[in-house]
C-alpha cells in the first residue's frame, strides 16, 4: 500500500475543492465555523465517495465516464460561476448563490469530484485498499476546503462584495481547465 502516493493524489484532487471553497468564502464573508463545516463535510464526502464508486463499478463503465466527466464538471462549474457573476450584480441579497444551500453544496461537490471517480477505477486495478484511500482523500479534502473557506472569507471581507465576480470567474476557469485538459489529447 502506497500511502504517500494516495496522499499526493488526494492533494491533487483537492485543488478544485480549494478554489470552490475560496469562492464560497468570498460570497459568505460572515460564514461561521459550523457553516464552514457543513460545506467542507459535503465536499469531503463526495470526494471520498467518488473513488469508492469508481472502485466498485470497475472497468466496465470507465470508458463511458472518461468520455463525459470533463463535460459534466465544466457544465456544473461554469453554470455555478455564471450564476455567481450574474447574482453579484443583483441588488437583492436573497437571490445570490448560497453555498449553504444543500443543492448548491452538492453541485459544487459533484463538479469537483468527478475526476476522483476515475481515480477509483485505477485503485481497483492497482489493488489499493479502498477504505484507507477514501479516508485519506476525504480527510485531505475536508482540510483543504476549510482552509479555502477561511482564505476566501479573509480576502472577500477586505476586497468587498464584488469579489463574488472573482469567485464566479474562478469556477468558470476551473471548469474550462478540466474541459481543456481532457480535450487536448483529442486535438
Q: What is the pLDDT of residues 17-66, one digit of tens each?
A: 888 898 888 888 888 999 999 999 999 999 999 999 888 876 565 556 56
All cell numbers assigned to 66: 472518461
User: Packing angle between helix 15-27 and helix 59-88, nearest 10 degrees?
Assistant: 20
All cell numbers assigned to 59: 472497468
- What is the pLDDT averaged over residues 152-173? 72
Report how far residue 72's alpha carbon sits from residue 64's, in angstroms, rounded to the nearest whole number.
12
Residue ranges making up the domain that contains 154:
3-186
How many domains is the chain built from?
Answer: 1
pTM beyond 0.85, yes or no = no
Asked if pLDDT for residue 79 goes beyond 60, the answer is: yes
Report how far residue 181's alpha carbon sits from residue 116's, in angstroms, rounded to the nearest whole number.
15
pLDDT value at residue 78: 81
Q: Quote the DSSP letter at residue 109.
A: H
Report how far residue 103's alpha carbon sits from residue 66's, in angstroms, rounded to the nearest whole number.
25
Asked if pLDDT for residue 139 goes beyond 50, the answer is: yes
Amino acid at each position: 500500500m502506497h500511502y504517500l502516493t494516495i496522499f499526493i493524489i488526494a492533494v491533487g484532487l483537492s485543488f478544485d475543492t480549494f478554489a470552490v471553497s475560496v469562492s464560497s468564502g468570498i460570497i459568505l464573508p460572515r460564514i461561521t465555523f459550523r457553516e464552514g463545516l457543513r460545506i467542507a463535510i459535503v465536499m469531503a464526502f463526495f470526494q471520498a465517495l467518488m473513488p469508492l464508486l469508481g472502485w466498485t463499478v470497475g472497468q466496465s463503465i470507465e470508458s463511458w465516464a472518461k468520455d463525459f466527466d470533463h463535460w459534466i464538471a465544466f457544465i456544473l462549474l461554469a453554470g455555478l460561476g455564471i450564476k455567481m457573476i450574474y447574482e453579484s450584480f443583483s441588488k437583492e441579497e436573497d437571490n445570490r448563490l448560497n453555498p449553504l444551500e444543500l443543492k448548491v453544496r452538492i453541485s459544487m461537490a459533484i463538479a469537483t469530484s468527478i475526476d476522483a471517480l476515475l481515480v477509483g477505477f485505477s485503485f481497483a486495478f492497482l489493488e489499493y485498499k479502498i477504505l484507507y484511500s477514501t479516508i485519506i482523500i476525504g480527510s485531505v479534502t475536508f482540510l483543504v476546503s476549510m482552509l479555502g473557506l477561511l482564505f476566501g472569507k479573509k480576502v472577500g471581507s477586505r476586497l468587498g462584495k464584488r469579489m463574488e465576480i472573482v469567485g464566479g470567474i474562478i469556477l468558470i476557469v476551473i471548469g474550462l481547465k478540466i474541459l481543456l485538459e481532457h480535450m487536448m489529447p483529442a486535438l
